[in-house]
Each structure stands twice: as structure tokens, then as C-alpha cells.
Structure 1
Amino acid sequence: MSKPDYDPGPRIAHAGSINLGTPDLDRSLWFFRDLLGMEVVEQVGGVAYLRGYQELTHHSLVLTQQDQARVNSYGFRVKRRQDVELFQKQLENQGLETLELAAGHEAGRGEAVRFLVPGSEHPFELYYDIDKPLADESIRSKVLSNSSRRRGLGVRRLDHINLQTSAGTVNQAESWLREALGFQRREFARLPQAPDIILASWLSVTPQVHDLAIGMAAEDQTGQFHHVAFNVENFHDILTAADQIRDLDIAYGAGPGKHGIGQAMYLYVHDPGSGHRIELYSGGYLIFDPAWEALEWKLPELEYGQTWYGDVLDVGPGGTFLSTSPSAGLTP
């Protein structure tokens, strides 16, 4: 019995890359390349392209030398080549302004469409084509699923991105990410004193608990960046990182500890070249249930969601853990 063709429409595959602006590229390169062990795939002038040792694509991290420490773009790979154009048409039909980015706008990457998320104003770039270069023979691994040998603290891949926006826009942005881009809400919390407002929401398009999180910014601003997480293999790697980083001139954020939300172990530090918050992340659970119902964290259990064990995250008034970095606008 023949069945009609079914087209699910354009879809996001995963969080693919982030472009961090840094006032001190050399210091940032030391942090990501020499300490975390990421591979510099290509460097063109003041722009460096890096990846973890289990990433076969050209890059997941772009470091851009610039005066301001801001996030220039958040990149998401789509599932099919035609989805770039389909998403662009969908966005324009919603009245959103888009920019077409030619192939090579980021080295190794094909054409992309750039836009600002309604409400939150974060600059997203959607793309499909990306090169898969071999690592230099001097660091190439014999394991075919590794792009290079494990080095430094052993960053494997980009894990997730955490965004923040104002209290007045967080509901709009979170709903739009789910309805327009297909992210699924996995776990969430409401603001205790204003339960109609989302405090934070963990969203994914993969079996991970979150590829993307969005929450309310403490300073009530749109377009804010809280952190990007890079995955390491196991809990012991987090403890090793904490031990080694204590000896270095690096701003120690929070951890090591374990989140109740997502159930992964964390360590937050700051890139010494830019000040951007970086999370080293390991473990967590996966979701395979197609009928998953989002889990809501309420007081008093919410504190267990933030920290199951380890350092309690400083999220009180004026808490340093709530500090953020700005993002660029529509024009890259």
C-alpha cells in the first residue's frame, strides 16, 4: 500500500557553533587550545576556528579579536540543505528581517541565514553545509570517531548554550523557540514571585535535556549570554579540571558540583581573554520518550535543581553567577 510523501518541514539538528568576541585573542587561544585541549583548525587574521576532539566538522567555536567581549552569533545546524532556505522563507513570512550570509562567511561553513530571535534579540545563524577537515597528522587520532587526539583537559564537543533575556520578553522568546524552531521544553521553572513568567527553560531538539536554555536576565536586558558548555567525558575529568585550574590565573566561577536539572556535573570558569562564562559539563540523562512531559521545578525543590551537590550557585540579589555578556545585533 503506497503512502503519500510526508515532509516535516525545516528542522534544527543541533547547536552547532558560537562566535565569541574577545579583546585578548592570544589569551583566549591559550585557554581553549592549550588548557581545554581544543584544536585550532584554521586561523585567519584575528579570527580563529576551533573544535573539540570528537567533532569532525570544521569548528564549533569561533574566537574573534575585537574591542568588546560580546557574542557575535549563535549557530545552529539544520537537518537538510534546503532547510536553510525554507527557514528563511518561514521567518520572512512572520515579518522578521533576515540576512543571507554567503558560503565562507565563517571559514569552512556554507551559506547561512541570520536573524534576531523575537523578544530576546539573540543573533541566530542557521546553516547546513560545513567542511570536515582532517586534523594535522601530528595530533590525528587512530580512533575514527575522534578528529584529533585527546589533549589538555579533554573538551569533546560543544554541549549547549545558555541565553538570558528580560522578564518582559522571556515568555515570548521561549514560546517562539518551541513553536517556530521546534525546540522541546524538557525541564523548566517559573519565577516564584510572578508564576506567569518563565524563570528558566531547558530546551532540546536532540535526546539531550538541553541544547539550548533560556531564562530571565537579572539585569532585565535582552540579548544576554550566560554561558556556553563544552562536554568532557566523565565526572573525574571535571574534578581534574577544577584541581588544575586552581593553580592558574583564571576566574573560578562555581563548582564542581552536580545539577539536579539535567543531572550533569558542572564546573564554571571564565575565559581569561574575554571574561565569557564557560561551563565544563559531563554526564546527564537522555530523553527517548516521544511523549515526554516537561518537568516543572518549584520551591523548595528548585534549589536541588540548581545544585544537587557541590557549590551552591550564587543566584541571590547581586549574585555573581547571574552576570552576563551582551550579544551583537542583526548585522554581524
Structure 2
Amino acid sequence: MIHTYDPGPRIAHAGGINIGTPNLERSLWFFRDLFGMEVTAEGDGVAYLRGYQEFDHHSLVLTQQDEAVINTYSFRVARPQDVELFHEQFTAEGVEVKVIPAGTETGRGEAIRFLLPGGGHPIELYYDIDKPKAADGLRSHLLGNSARRRGFGVRRLDHLNIMTGAATIVQAEGWLRERLGFKRREFLTLPQDPNFIVASWMSVNSKLHDIAIGASPNGQDAQFHHVAFSIENFHDILTAADQLRDLDIQIDAGPGKHGIGQAMYLYVRDPGSNHRIELYSGGREFFEPDWQALEWKINSPYGMTWYGDLPNVDPQTSPYVTTTPSAGLVLPSRRAAAA
């Protein structure tokens, strides 16, 4: 007799982020012209972008609105039926879920939206998404690239980094692992309290993280720290830092190399929305099925920065530790771009 094993609904990877920006044109300049991302659709105050090695319709949505909040954090599920299966699971557990009709985001199929228990962040899960070809003038001869490499050379969205209050972080981090199946790769604790999670890096694939969650310095839930975009190599990070400095773009931290995950980083601000964006290169990969998460202590001199200047982490003076807000279950009204 053949037995068929069904692992249940699963997450495949971090899929996207919808950034609310009061200045859409400035944000577009930043991501399209500097980062080199391809605009796949645009209109009515919304722009959709992707990296040069992304075939899905988009990983970044820029929405023009008065509130500079993160509207949604999105993950693609592993199978078409997983959207409905997660919906049933969450509803049975008492989590309020909204069905997002196909086409609400251009090029994307039906999705569900809910607030992360313990965090309050608006999360969307989807499977169906278009895979349009780039315009003739942008196509690459390399079949593994959706478009030619331009600007800083953003390849793809790498991960999302969120924060919530110290009173809720253990619940939120546990829910991401237990209900969405994220695997803890490395984590940060207090020397005096190893049960308190200061931060946790989690993935469903070989990366260090599809999502990371930390304790917010302001004690508030539903906070956003950064979204990271992958670029090819360390040299690209240094080139970007040189050019961004000359353009007076705010640099919050870096360039440097993380001890946790071992990737090179550069944290900057989108000048249209003031949300933090990370350029991210390299990093250790995780293939072991029996991987035991690495525990770092918050006072380690090697965790945040292996080399490079240590970021200022004083909550009173540091631009690096500040967070920006997320929307609720109902998203803010968007404002159409001026003609």
C-alpha cells in the first residue's frame, strides 16, 4: 500500500512588501534609478517593482499615501491550496482573516491578510502571481535574469525585519515558527535571561532569514526595522555606499559584515518614505535538516558586526535602532499621484 504524506500548508519564501510613501516619485527614483529595479506596472499612485533576477511580477509595491507606514508583509506559499488551508487553520484558531481578491495587487492572485499574533504586523499569504517578461530594451541574454543588471544591481528581495514589544516578542516569534513553519537559524538572548528572545532570524529555505523579529526599543508592537535586498558581492556594497554618500542619502549603519549570518550590510533610508532599507550581500547558507539554532548573547562583540564600525544603538541618538510603523488589518487610503 502506498501512503501519501501531506505536510500541510507551508511558506515557500518571503515574497514582498508594500511600502506606503508620501513621495512616490522620490521613492521611485531611489528604487528604480539607484537600485536598478524594474518597474513592471504603474498607475493610480501605485508602482510595482522587482529585482533583475526575479521572475515574479513584483516583490516591492510603492503606494502613494499620506501615512508613511508599511502596508503589508507578504509571503508566497508552497502550493495553490495552501492559501485556503492557512485560512481555515487561522480561522479555527480565532485569528481574524481577510480575503484579498485577485488583482488587488496587480499581477497577483487571491491572498489572505491577518495580523501577526503577538506582533500586530499585517501579513499576506498568496500563491498565484504573474511572471511577465521584461520590456525588449531591458531583457538580458542571461536566461537566469529577468532583466539586465542596472544601477546598484538589486537581484531580489532577501528578507523582512520586524519588531514588537518586549512583552509580546516571545509569543510572536513562537507563532511564526509553530504556525507558519519558520525555522530558527540564529537568535539573540540576554545573558541573565536565556528564555527572553531579543531577536531571532528564521527561514523556510537555505537562507539565514526570510523574516527576522526583534524587541523594539520603543516598546511598541507592529514596528518595522528594515527590508533587505540582495546584491551580488561585497564590492557592490562599497560602490553603493560611495554613491549614496555623494547623493546625501541617509546611511544608518555600515558598510560592514554581520557576525550573525555573515553577510555584508549597508542600511540606508528611502528618501521618499524614510523607511530603512538594507543592501545585503553574501551570508552563510543552511542546508542541514538537523540544524541547531545558534544562540548569541546580546553583549557579544561579534554578533551585530564582525568588521566595520559598530552601529550606534543608543535609543536616544541612534538612527539605526529607530523603527517605523505598520498598518493595521485595514490599510490606509491611498492617494493617487498628481497628473
Using structure 1 for the length normalisation, give the TM-score.
0.98
* Aligned-partner Cα distance in 1 for 2:117–2:240: 37
Question: What SS is found at the alignment partner of 2:6?
Answer: coil
Superposed CA offset, 1:17-61 (max 9, x none): 000000000000000000000001000210000000000010000
1:307 equivalent to 2:302? Answer no
Match of 1:40 in 2: 39
Contact residue 74 and residue 125 of structure 2 kept, 8 A: yes
Residue 190 of structure 1: CA displacement? 1.2
* Aligned-partner Cα distance in 1 for 2:82–2:245: 45
Match of 2:81 in 1: 82
* Aligned-partner Cα distance in 1 for 2:61–2:129: 14
* Aligned-partner Cα distance in 2 for 1:6–1:196: 34
* Aligned-partner Cα distance in 2 for 1:93–1:158: 32
* Aligned-partner Cα distance in 2 for 1:263–1:112: 34
Mapping 1:24-173, distance limit 5 Å: 24-173=23-172
* Aligned-partner Cα distance in 2 for 1:192–1:274: 36
Superposed CA offset, 1:77-132 (max 9, x none): 00000000000000001100000010001000000000001010010000000000
Structure 1 residues 320 and 194, CA gap change in structure 2 (3 angstroms): farther
* Aligned-partner Cα distance in 1 for 2:315–2:252: 17
* Aligned-partner Cα distance in 1 for 2:227–2:26: 18
Counterpart of 2:170, as a letter, is N
Counterpart of 2:128, as a letter, is D
Match of 1:254 in 2: 253
Counterpart of 1:249, as a letter, is D
Mapping 1:244-323, distance limit 5 Å: 244-298=243-297, 300=299, 302-318=300-316, 319-323=318-322
Match of 1:188 in 2: 187
Match of 1:331 in 2: 330
Question: What SS is found at the alignment partner of 1:113?
Answer: strand
Match of 1:237 in 2: 236
Residue 316 of structure 1: CA displacement? 2.8
| Bigger mean CA deviation after superposition, 140-149 or 54-63 | 140-149
* Aligned-partner Cα distance in 1 for 2:314–2:2: 56
Could you tell me the percent identity over the aligned residues?
66
Residue 13 of structure 1: CA displacement? 0.1
Question: What SS is found at the alignment partner of 1:245?
Answer: helix
Contact residue 188 and residue 298 of structure 2 kept, 8 A: no
Residue 298 of structure 1: CA displacement? 1.6
Counterpart of 2:94, as a letter, is G
* Aligned-partner Cα distance in 2 for 1:142–1:21: 34
Question: What SS is found at the alignment partner of 1:186?
Answer: strand
1:220 equivalent to 2:219? Answer yes
Residue 299 of structure 1: CA displacement? 5.1
| Bigger mean CA deviation after superposition, 311-320 or 278-287 | 311-320
Q: Which runs of 5+ in 2 are unaligned?
A: 332-339
Would you identify which runs of 4 or more consecutive aligned residues in structure 1 move more than 6 Å?
Answer: none
Contact residue 315 and residue 322 of structure 2 kept, 8 A: no
Superposed CA offset, 1:173-199 (max 9, x none): 000000000000000011345443210
Superposed CA offset, 1:190-219 (max 9, x none): 134544321000000010011100010000
Question: What SS is found at the alignment partner of 1:176?
Answer: helix
* Aligned-partner Cα distance in 2 for 1:294–1:205: 13
* Aligned-partner Cα distance in 1 for 2:87–2:301: 40
* Aligned-partner Cα distance in 2 for 1:193–1:105: 47
* Aligned-partner Cα distance in 1 for 2:134–2:298: 48
Question: What SS is found at the alignment partner of 1:147?
Answer: coil
Residue 144 of structure 1: CA displacement? 1.1
Residue 311 of structure 1: CA displacement? 1.9
Counterpart of 1:316, as a letter, is D
